[in-house]
Amino acid sequence: MDDIDLARLVCFDDFHDAARTALTPDAYDYYRSGALREWTLAENQRAYERWTFVRRSMVDVSDIDTTTSVLGSDISFPVLIAPTAFHKLATPAGEVATALAAKAMGTVMVNSTLSTVPLEDVAATGAMRWFQLYVFTDRGLTRELVDRAMASGFTALVPTVDAPTIGIRYADQRNRFVLPDGMELANVSASLSGADGASGLRAFSQQFDQSLTWRDIEMAVWSGGCARGSQGRGHCRRRPHGPRGGRRRCGGVQPRRSTARRRPGHAGCAGRGGAGGGWRWSGAYGRRDS
């Protein structure tokens, strides 16, 4: 997409249309598709349409400030870049380009385990960064990823807990999706080859731990050498979340041992913070696409 005139892209739909033109069909289908009949994908899009801005009149808007803080980091753009895989499908610089964009906007990039650039190279950009963690059946690999993230200055872990396996994505199956020659998973020593005509990504996801529980999340963090600092206790608070009521969110923990309160369907994000250099927990949520 390097030869596209970005000045002519003024809204999301413009970028979407440009991506359809610039990307290979396999890459475009990977980025845009969901699982099965894509009900959850469509529901996610409809959810944005249900949110509106409530206008306030007769207030001073001459000096607008969008800065906020998350896990102790001050950000000027109040939108984080969520973890997505395989950025080199879109640009040769891969996740480094995304990190530089996050740095320019003053926000956090959440780097995917399945990135096509080593997490150390992403760290070298100086961008604020968290690390998305898949918990593998190979606990040694999981601990190694945690250790590398910590050593590279990633300030939070974002475990994915709602994907015991990658959903059946019809577009990827039709395309027999695999990474192009010369492109690889930069953080794990594994190939992304399809099996029996299936998507290579779905075949690879069989290495994810399908028996994952809270105890496994604790072990991944604590065994990775991240449990430092003073003992703390988590607190939960309920926030409004649409017409179906509230959502519980746990946050603000500097743990020696696990004290975060557990809720069904609620995963933690371990983040370093505080004078003791410990790791804190924040909420992470997801819905399985089906």
Kindly report, residue by residue over 163-208, the tens digit of the pLDDT: 887 888 899 889 988 889 999 999 987 655 555 555 667 777 888 8
Residue 33 burial class via C-beta count within 10 angstroms: exposed 0-12, middle 13-18, buried 19 and up: middle
pLDDT at 167: 83
Question: CA 161, CA 107: separation in Å to the nearest integer?
Answer: 24
262 contacts 14 by C-beta, under 8 angstroms: no
Q: Where are the alpha helices (DSSP H) in 62-199?
A: 95-105, 119-123, 139-151, 170-175
- 109 forms beta bridges with 81, 129
Confidence of residue 3 (pLDDT cuts 50, 70, 90): confident
Question: CA 224, CA 136: separation in Å to the nearest integer?
Answer: 14
Q: What is the pTM of this model?
A: 0.74
Could you tell me what percentage of the chain is helix, strand and coil, using 3-state DSSP and rounding each to the nearest 5?
A: 30, 20, 50
Given a cut of 50, whether residue 54 has pLDDT beyond it is: yes
Question: CA 146, CA 216: separation in Å to the nearest integer?
Answer: 13
**Cα-to-chain-centroid distance, residue 122:** 14
- Here the tokens at position 133 are 């963690």
Confidence of residue 138 (pLDDT cuts 50, 70, 90): confident
pLDDT at 178: 87
